[in-house]
Amino acid sequence: MTRKMRQRFKKKFTRLMQKKLVMLFAGIILAFVVLIGRITYINASSGDKYSKVVLDQQQYGSRVIPFKRGDIVDRNGTKLATSKRVYNVILDIKVMLSDEKYEEPTIEVLKSCFDIEEDTVRKLIKENPGSRYSVLKKGVEYAKAKEFKELQSDKEKSADVKGIWLEEDYVRSYPYNALASDVIGFTVDGNVGSNGIEAAYNDVLNGTDGREYGYQEKNAIQEKTVKEAENGKTIVSTIDLQVQSILEKHILAFNEEHKNEARPGVGSKNTAVIVMNPQNGEILGEASYPNYDLNNPRDLTLYYSEEEIAEMAEEEKLDALNSLWNNFCVSSVYEPGSTYKPFTVAAGLELGKLNGSENFVCGGVLHVGDHDIHCSHTSGHGSQSLKRSLENSCNVAFMKMGEILGKEDFTKYQHLFGFGEYTGIDLPGEATGLLYTAEKMDAASLATNAFGQNFNVTMTQLAAGFCSLINGGDYYEPHVVKQIQDENGNVTENKDPVLVRRTVSKETSEILKDYMLGVVEEGTGTSAAVEGYDVGGKTGTAEKQPRNKKNYLVSFIGYAPQENPQVVVYVVVDEPNSYGQANSGYATRLASDIMVEIFPYLGVQKSTKTE
């Protein structure tokens, strides 16, 4: 065959094939169109019928795998908050109704296993017969779930029980009920933290839900696709369960002792305590009273009668609850009174405006500006050294110190000690308090500020600042979380102490400790003494606004041992139930009761003094 002939044949063949291929493709497309049309018709006219056939042969396994919210533990690993596995009873009504023989046995099992009434199920069937997901009961305990699973494993008994399945879930649980309620907080709507560590570390405590889905044949199990849940992390707090238990025991005992008809259930408007390590800012214990049960945070019956609760409007109930949930140690401000006096002395010593050789004469009152401002000892203390001024808590001496300092330096040191500022504590709702600026401070305000009146603070501020006065001048950020771990106990983050600044020199710190040891041994704080230990500290008695009401907040802040202090205990009693509210003894005795128990437990060094 010649070359010319071959080319002519190839050309003819190619044209012929092209026509055939076009016709073939057209035929295939037409067949697909007809097939799709048929499938659409069958689905529209008989879809439910065929779906039922499929459901008889297959069970669709699709479920959310809930994450477990992380635990909150004390510094020794004891669980303070945890999540307990429970089960929700789910009914697939459509599956149950796929054959009439399933309905009665399924309803009977729901009643016998889970105490779900027949009327409840029948109402759901009537309202939504096509439902694939109806929650019949939440929070079923493991024992009940186990009973149902055992029934499921018995093929003969469960042959006609269809559409019931158990959905895993978790509920938050607090093993110690009200213990450390201010610090821990609680959750709402499942996994949303409210108050305390639960709120501050909500994102860390929460994980991510997983999911499982796929079909399971009657006679063969098909492999399912599973995305595992990622559980939340564990928060290791600085709180010591034993310290916390001791201070709350004594707070409760105090309120039981001093409660009366005017204020039933409590012995003061507020009673609060902070126990802190002055060497690193760790809070070992923190509580205020009235408190609340973390497992039932909306319960008001401990403080109000059923009749009183019934008469409350919703807004009144909310106010009462918010008052209970308030963390007094972090969120409430008040005038500190004489517990501020060590800070005035510290500022004077640091500036060189005081040196310890001063002598002040107290006649019981001092005229400042247009005001006569009285000392607590109305007949006067007479001649007072700087040390004796602090030991006797002489207001006149401190008003004179305020004048020596001057308003510029006084206000500067207030901020240096952390007043009027956020401390950075890792708890929500922190307040800052209100201070005078130098520009707005007159002579009388400077005089009263110098002994702790006419400005306000939080307990956390005063405790953190005080720690710096006794530890050599290091101001540490107060904190309640020590460490973060994964669910297997591996440390993912350490919350190391944060040294913020220096406030005073070591020399000033040593002088102040000597003065405050004298307060407990010979001055206003003698009832705070603990046998066998060198305890230093300062009392406080603050008259509240408005002054004509004659309401007082009394307090004591103390530490031990004298050398290298390891523990600070700060007690505030706001409006004790007594006609004689202006008595710091309420706070000193409560502090002493707490220290007697926690010092041996914490291994605080005993006094080396000999008789």
Backbone angles phi, psi at 58, to 5 degrees: -130, 155
Tell me which amino acid residue 602 is: L
Measuring CA to CA, how many Å separate 315 from each of 294, 301, 309?
A: 21, 17, 12
% of the chain surpassing 70 pLDDT:
88
What is the C-alpha to C-alpha distance for residues 283 and 100, in angstroms, rounded to an integer? 64
Beta carbons within 8 Å of 132's beta carbon, 6+ residues apart: 92, 93, 94, 95
Query: Environment class of residue 505 by beta-carbon count within 10 Å: exposed (0-12), middle (13-18) or buried (19+)?
Result: middle
pLDDT attached to residue 64: 79
Cβ count within 10 A of residue 375: 22
pLDDT attached to residue 69: 96
- In this predicted model, which residue has the larger pLDDT, 595 or 165? 595
Backbone angles phi, psi at 57, to 5 degrees: -100, -25
- Average pLDDT for 347-368: 96
pLDDT attached to residue 54: 47
- Average pLDDT for 23-46: 67
pLDDT of residue 32 exceeding 80, the answer is no
What pLDDT digit, counting tens, does each position of 476-508 carry? 999 999 999 999 999 999 999 999 999 999 999
pLDDT attached to residue 577: 84
% of the chain surpassing 90 pLDDT:
66
What pLDDT digit, counting tens, does each position of 209-265 carry? 998 877 555 444 456 788 889 999 999 999 999 999 999 999 999 999 988 755 556
- Average pLDDT for 317-335: 96
**Comparing C-alpha atoms, which of 434, 395, 386 is closest to residue 414?**
434
48 confidence band (pLDDT: 50, 70, 90):
low
What is the secondary structure of 204-273 as a DSSP string?
HH--B-EEEE-EEESSSBPPPEEE--BPPPEEEES--HHHHHHHHHHHHHHHHHH-BTTBTT-SEEEEEE
- In this predicted model, which residue has the larger pLDDT, 147 or 451? 451
Max mean pLDDT range (104-108, 123-127, 591-595):
591-595
- The tokens describing 130, both together, are 């096509």
Cβ count within 10 A of residue 459: 26
Average pLDDT, rounded, for the chain: 89
pLDDT of residue 43 exceeding 60, the answer is no
- The tokens describing 135, both together, are 């929650």
Task: Spell out the domains of the chain, with CATH numbers in brackets.
Answer: 63-215+225-237 (3.90.1310.10), 333-602 (3.40.710.10)
42 confidence band (pLDDT: 50, 70, 90):
low
Cβ count within 10 A of residue 579: 6
pLDDT of residue 464 exceeding 70, the answer is yes
Measuring CA to CA, how many Å separate 535 from each of 493, 518, 538, 558?
A: 35, 9, 10, 7
- Average pLDDT for 290-298: 96
What is the C-alpha to C-alpha distance for residues 274 and 366, in angstroms, rounded to an integer? 34
Query: Environment class of residue 610 by beta-carbon count within 10 Å: exposed (0-12), middle (13-18) or buried (19+)?
Result: exposed
Of the ranges 2-11, 24-33, 118-127, 311-320, which one carries the lowest mean pLDDT score? 2-11
What pLDDT digit, counting tens, does each position of 513-564 carry? 999 999 999 999 999 999 999 999 999 999 999 888 889 999 999 999 999 9
What is the C-alpha to C-alpha distance for residues 382 and 389, in angstroms, rounded to an integer? 10
Q: Strand ranges (DSSP E) for 290-443?
A: 359-362, 365-368, 371-374, 382-385
What pLDDT digit, counting tens, does each position of 194-223 carry? 999 999 999 999 999 998 877 555 444 456
- In this predicted model, which residue has the larger pLDDT, 454 or 100? 454
CA angle centred on 455, ends 453 and 456, rounded to 5°: 105
- The tokens describing 4, both together, are 């010319």
pLDDT attached to residue 57: 45
Residue 63, beta-bridge partner list: 212
pLDDT attached to residue 523: 96
Cβ count within 10 A of residue 222: 10
